[in-house]
Amino acid sequence: MPEIEPELEKMYRECVRRLYSIAPSFQKVGVLGYHPGLETMSDFSAYLGDPHKSLTAVHIAGTNGKGSVAHMLASALASAYPGERIGLYTSPHLVDFRERIKLVSSATGEVGEHFSMIGKREVLDFMHRAGSFIEERTPSFFEITTAMAFDYFNRENVRVAVIETGLGGRLDSTNIIVPRLSVITSIGIDHKDVLGDTIEQIASEKAGIIKPGVPVVVGDVPDSAYDVIRTRAEQCGSRLYRAGELCDECVGAVVAASEADLHAACQEKNIRTVLTALRVLGLETVSKDSEVYEAIIHAAAITGLRGRWERLSSRPEVICDIGHNVEAVSVSMCQLAKEAGGRHIIMVYGMAGDKDVESVCCLLPDEAEYIMTQASGSRAMPAERLVEIAGKRYSVAVPDVGQAVRLAMSKASADDVVFIGGSSYVVAEVLEKWPEIMGNKKVKK
């Protein structure tokens, strides 16, 4: 007899609570939640019947841009294969755990949401079937979710699975797959405690996703990183393509970026990477009047992607963005200055303590008003400490994210800009609490 919905919801919430308790996530505890190496993941997949071996996959790594590229690529592929579904596995989630594992289908009629998250029953079923392995081998949170994604995509018979790495590449849990295409979006300094503290070391870890004979598309990377990636590709006998190499229409990426519902300035580079990847996968030229082009520029709506230069209201203008390392923040702060156009800026900002906080803070505008905050979890830097490090003149500490945003909204005039960022976990809390934060207050979107 089927469970009634309230009972299903109760069982699902308890299941997720238990999952977090038995396998704390990197999202919450940082490096303590990271299990490098592929042995446990390989054994886990074998326990489930090796579902990853039945998948046609695209594997995506990179310091920045891999989430946006994954979502745009999934949206484009869904449009290119009408009537079929594309699997999409990304991390971290912002509001709902199930955001990590989605099915994307072709957009027909008006543009809107054409995705579904893994069902709550499917999560419960997987945890029941995998229970013995989890109890005996204690895989990490990310290993469990990766196995869940591979198992789900195989059961749903997806046409293509777009798989984003969690951290790095070479030792990432997703790296047991042999994809049809590997993509490396960018290389920058991040996660130094795990991946190394030089561009070359990090590039080597990301290039670890390259498999023998599997083509590779590489986005905008420093020359030293490209040399590392090229060497790895040559060793594997893999054809290497730079973003824009195969497609004359990539000159249209500028137009696409200006129309896209993913608004960040970096999207032009990401779109070039997506267009090149589509050509390597055998799709024809993507013209401006094609359905695939429409799928790319409406990727956020089609796939449900959030937190990438997302506007929550217009008066005051409230923007949230998950960029949190030097390269991403540099781009977002340039865009913020341009779009603010001299208007007063109120920053609600919080960072993880394991980031290059001092370097990031040097990129933040001096004349803005700051409300420093901290997301829940042990990784978050205390708001008071962030005030000290940032050294901004107009700065207060409000540790609770919801209270910090409420304070910003109470201070903001209709013409001001409120920027929320510094950490995907700060943005996640804001998105989850936004209706509660605003209460009955009317804001224009």
Residue 170: the pLDDT is 93
345 membership: H or E segment, kind and range: strand 345-349
Residue 28 has pLDDT above 80, yes or no: no
pLDDT confidence of residue 204: 95
Ranking 12-21, 358-367, 397-406 by mean pLDDT, the lowest is: 12-21
pLDDT at 243 (0 to 100): 92
> In angstroms, what is the C-alpha Rg of the chain?
21
pLDDT at 2: 52
Which residue has better confidence, 445 or 370?
370
| Nearest CA-CA partner of 171 in 214, 204, 137, 134 | 204
Contact 16, 97 (CB under 8 A): yes
Assess whether pLDDT exceeds 50 at residue 64. Answer: yes
pLDDT at 277: 95
pLDDT at 354: 83
| Tens-digit pLDDT profile for residues 160-176 | 999 999 988 999 999 99
Give yes or no for residue 248 having a pLDDT over 90: no
83-116 pLDDT, tens per residue? 999 999 999 999 999 999 999 998 544 445 589 9
pLDDT band, residue 393 (cuts 50/70/90): confident
Q: Please, which pLDDT band fits residue 191 given cuts at 50, 70 and 90?
A: low
What pLDDT is stored for residue 254 in this prediction? Answer: 53
Q: How far is residue 12's CA from residue 249's CA, in Å, rounded to a whole number?
A: 46
Asked whether 60 and 183 are in contact (CB, 8 A), the reply is: yes
Tell me how far apart the alpha carbons of residues 334 and 133 are, in angstroms, rounded to a whole number: 48
Determine what percent of the chain is predicted with pLDDT higher than 90.
73
Alpha carbon distance 89, 313 (integer Å)? 29
Angle of helix 267-280 relative to helix 66-80, nearest 10 degrees? 40
Report pLDDT digits (tens) over 307-330. 999 999 999 999 999 998 898 999
- What phi, psi does 139 have (nearest 5°)? -65, 160
Burial 86-121 (b: 16+ CB within 10 A, else e): bbbbbbbbbbebbbbbbbbbbbeeeeeebbebbebe
Ranking 30-34, 227-231, 234-238, 422-426 by mean pLDDT, the lowest is 30-34
> Longest Cα pair distance anywhere in the chain, in angstroms?
63
What pLDDT does 244 receive? 83
User: Is the whole model's pTM more than 0.85, yes or no?
Assistant: yes
Element (H, E) at 444: none
pLDDT in tens, 251-280: 455 556 678 888 776 788 899 999 999 999
Q: Tell me the pLDDT of the chain averaged across its residues.
A: 89
Please tell me the distance from the alpha carbon of residue 57 to that of residue 12, in angstroms, as a whole number: 29
Residue 253 has a pLDDT of: 56
The percentage of residues in the chain with a pLDDT greater than 70, rounded to a whole number, is 89
Question: pLDDT tens digits, residue range 210-247?
Answer: 999 999 999 999 999 999 999 999 999 999 999 988 76
| Dist. CA 211–CA 44, nearest whole Å | 21
